[in-house]
Amino acid sequence: MAHIERFAPSPTGYLHLGHAFSALTAWDMAQDTGGTFLLRIEDNDHTRVRPEFEQAIYDDLHWLGLSWPTPVLRQSDNAPAYQHALKHLDSLGLTYGCECTRSVIREASPNPVYGPDGMVYPGICRNKNLPNVENTAIRLNMAKAIQYLGGADQVNLLSFIDINNGSDEHFLNADQLLDNCGDIVLARRDIGTAYHLAVVVDDAAQKITHITRGKDLFEATKIHRILQALLALPTPIYRHHRLILDDNGKRLAKRDDSRAIRKYRTEGATPQDIREMVGLIDR
Ligand code: GLU
């Protein structure tokens, strides 16, 4: 089977050492297996993306020694594919329109549970039958999705492989999906399709076989797995790797410009130095 890896950054800031680790790990794997490394620009959220950050992604990755087939898939060019998937879920009766603002959700959630998609939605609009129109968000009705897939017993048989430490198989848990993820957002009123839906549609369209990304997305993979089941899409193999932390042990964020690849570049570091910094080669 062809081995196809992807690195899928969002151009909302400069790439930092954590991104370098992900991209290099995926790249090395593709090289070792004679596979393909793809770059995808996840620029769905037009409220946060900036063209200079996209250009910086190309520059920094080239500098690191990576290359990829062009043109790259940019999510902003791919809206019809996401709409198609959304319509399909809608036609199965699994979605609903939601007009709640964040503050309405907060007020209705005295003891909020935070899952991979933020605060678990308390279901305010679930039975309102709001039309899926432009000024509403669209949510997945998780309980109906589980029913559609044959009920909790069937959903609990769905799994994905994480090859970070060996080859562990992780099973979904219907109760956990309901309690910790709930009715996730599939499309937002301001940006159109949300991350989870776009990512599974793109991974399938690009025939990705292996997804290398940080441990911080491990819980999100459960959402991706159920969306793959609902949309009858294949499930790639995942590698949720360790995170690169700052000196205080915190995960790097895009605002950590102090760890930006381009900062090290301008200070005279070499790509080899970056590999050392992220622990891919011994110092
Ligand atoms: N675009 C996401 C990010 O920059 C990564 C998505 C993924 O690897 O699935 O955090």
Place of tokens 């200079």: 52
Q: Is 10 in the pocket of ligand 1 (CB under 6 A)?
A: yes
Instruction: Say if ligand 1 is within 6 A of residue 213 CB.
Output: yes
For the CA of 214, the closest atom of ligand 1 is 8
Query: Positive or negative CA dihedral for 150, 186, 133, 84?
Result: negative
Structure tokens, 89 = 């879920």
Cα(75) to ligand 1 centroid in Å equals 12
199 lines ligand 1 (CB under 6 A): yes
**Closest C-alpha to ligand 1, atom 2:** 9
Is any ligand 1 atom within 6 A of the Cβ of residue 202? no
User: What number does CATH give the domain 1-76+245-283?
Assistant: 3.40.50.620
Instruction: Decide: 221 and 240 in contact? Cβ < 8 Å.
Output: yes
Indicate whether residue 9 lines ligand 1 (CB < 6 A).
yes
Domain 78-206 in CATH 3.30.1370.140? The answer is: no
Which ranges constitute the DSSP H helices of 126-217?
142-148, 152-155, 174-176, 195-205
pLDDT in tens, the chain (283 residues): 799 999 999 999 999 999 999 999 999 999 999 999 999 999 999 899 999 999 999 999 999 999 999 999 999 999 999 999 999 999 999 999 999 999 999 999 999 999 998 899 999 999 998 876 667 899 999 999 999 999 999 999 999 999 998 889 999 999 999 999 999 999 988 788 899 999 999 999 999 999 999 999 999 999 999 999 999 999 999 999 999 988 777 877 776 677 899 999 999 999 999 999 999 987 6
C-alpha–C-alpha distance, residues 260 and 271, integer Å: 13
User: Where exactly are the structural domains of the chain?
Assistant: 1-76+245-283, 78-206
